[in-house]
Structure formats: C-alpha cells, structure tokens
C-alpha cells in the first residue's frame, strides 16, 4: 500500500525550511528529508525569490509529495521580514498548485499543538518531540528544517489521521490521495514522453 507523503515548508527569504515525511499509519511517521533552501541577502530580491523557487521545484519534483503544508504567515513587528516570508509562502503555494498538489496552511500555534500538545511550546520542545516521534538521533538542523518537518507532521495528523486537502478545501481520504498521486505521476510520464518527441 502506498504511503501518504507530505512536504512541509517553513517559508523564509534567507532560509526556507523544507521537510518531507511519510505516514506509516496511526500517528507514526518517517522522516524522508529535511533541509533549508538558502538565498544570499546581498542578492536582489527577484534573484533571491528565484533561488527559493528553484529549490522548492527541485523538492517537489524529487520527492513527489501528495500534499504540501506551509506555515501561515502571521504579523510581526518587522514588516520586511513578514513581506519576505509572505512572498516565499506564495511561491510555495504556486509551485504546488501548478503540479496539482493539494496545499494546507497551518499557524505556528497549530503546529506547536500538533507536535507537542502545547500551542505555546518553544523551538527546543518541538525539536525534542521530533526526535521522539520520528526516532531520530538528533533534530534536523538548522531550526528552519525542524520547523518544516513539524509543519509536515501537522498536516499528516490534522483531523485525527493522514489527510490531504482537495481543491475545494475539503478533506480527502488516504486512498483518494494515493489515487491523485498516481494520476499526477501518469501525467508527468506523458509530459516527459511528449517533451522527448
């Protein structure tokens, strides 16, 4: 039986965290990949966004997630940080939508509550729980990668079990998600075949 795979994105302009997890049934999951996509702060904004977009494309195409979960942008005192985060979040949503991959947004407090049971948990508590929940020797580093893994786990576990969102925002069962993934893979194979001709 195919597993449900989720790509979590912790949007950031300098460091965009990505985490890929597979559902193993119940509340068990396996870490597939965790990393950050970096852009140089001295580069022009358009080039930084392009760097992030390329990294996200590579992750989406390389890991073939059934769903993408992105941390919802929330207001902070530093408006420039919020703007960069929002721009990267938009890129993640667009890249997923172009591939027909369902997307969900989760607030930081939802992520903390899903992973630790406490909506006010700090980063250290989240990382400690990731080690326990995923059977890791250490939490993914840097912290942006751990945050992305936590976001992916939140999507796997929301609603009491592995779900993805369909285009209307409704829940899909794991079987429906597997079917959608098979359709996407067939479409990609057709596109590759057409591009070779």
| Active site annotation includes 144 | yes
71 is in an annotated binding site: yes
| Active site annotation includes 98 | no
CB count in 10 Å sphere of residue 119: 13
Residues 6 or more apart whose Cβ sits within 8 Å of residue 137: 131
Q: Could you write out the three-class secondary structure of the chain?
A: CCCCEEEEEECCCCEEEEEEEEEEECCEEEEEEEEEEECCCCCCHHHHHHHHHHHHHHHHHHHCCCEEEEECCCCCCCHHHHHHHHHHHHHHHHHHHHCCCCEEEECHHHHHHHHHCCCCCCHHHHHHHHHHHHCCCCCCCCHHHHHHHHHHHHHHHHHHCCCEECCCCCEECHHHHHHHHHHHHHHHHHHHHHHHC
10 is in an annotated binding site: yes
| Active site annotation includes 71 | yes
46 is in an annotated binding site: no
Catalytic residue among 10, 22, 35, 66: 10
Catalytic residue among 66, 95, 144, 147: 144
Catalytic residue among 22, 66, 71, 95: 71
Annotated active-site positions, please? 10, 71, 144
Extract the annotated binding site: 10, 71, 144
Extract the annotated binding site for Mg(2+): 10, 71, 144
């Amino acid at each position: 039986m195919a597993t449900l795979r989720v790509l979590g994105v912790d949007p950031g302009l300098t460091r965009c965290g990505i985490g890929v997890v597979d559902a193993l049934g119940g509340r068990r999951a396996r870490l597939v990949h965790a990393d950050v996509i970096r852009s140089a702060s001295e580069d022009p904004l358009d080039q930084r966004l392009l760097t992030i977009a390329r990294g996200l494309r590579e992750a989406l195409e390389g890991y073939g997630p059934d769903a993408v979960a992105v941390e919802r942008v929330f207001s902070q005192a530093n408006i420039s940080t919020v703007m960069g985060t929002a721009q990267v979040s938009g890129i993640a949503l667009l890249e997923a939508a172009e591939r027909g991959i369902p997307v969900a947004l989760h607030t930081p407090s939802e992520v903390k509550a899903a992973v630790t049971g406490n909506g006010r948990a700090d980063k250290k508590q989240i990382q400690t729980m990731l080690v326990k929940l995923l059977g890791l020797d250490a939490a993914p580093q840097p912290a942006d990668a751990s945050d992305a893994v936590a976001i992916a786990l939140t999507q796997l576990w929301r609603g009491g079990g592995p779900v993805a969102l369909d285009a209307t925002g409704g829940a899909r069962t794991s079987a429906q998600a597997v079917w959608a993934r098979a359709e996407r893979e067939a479409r990609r194979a057709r596109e590759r075949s057409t591009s070779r001709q």
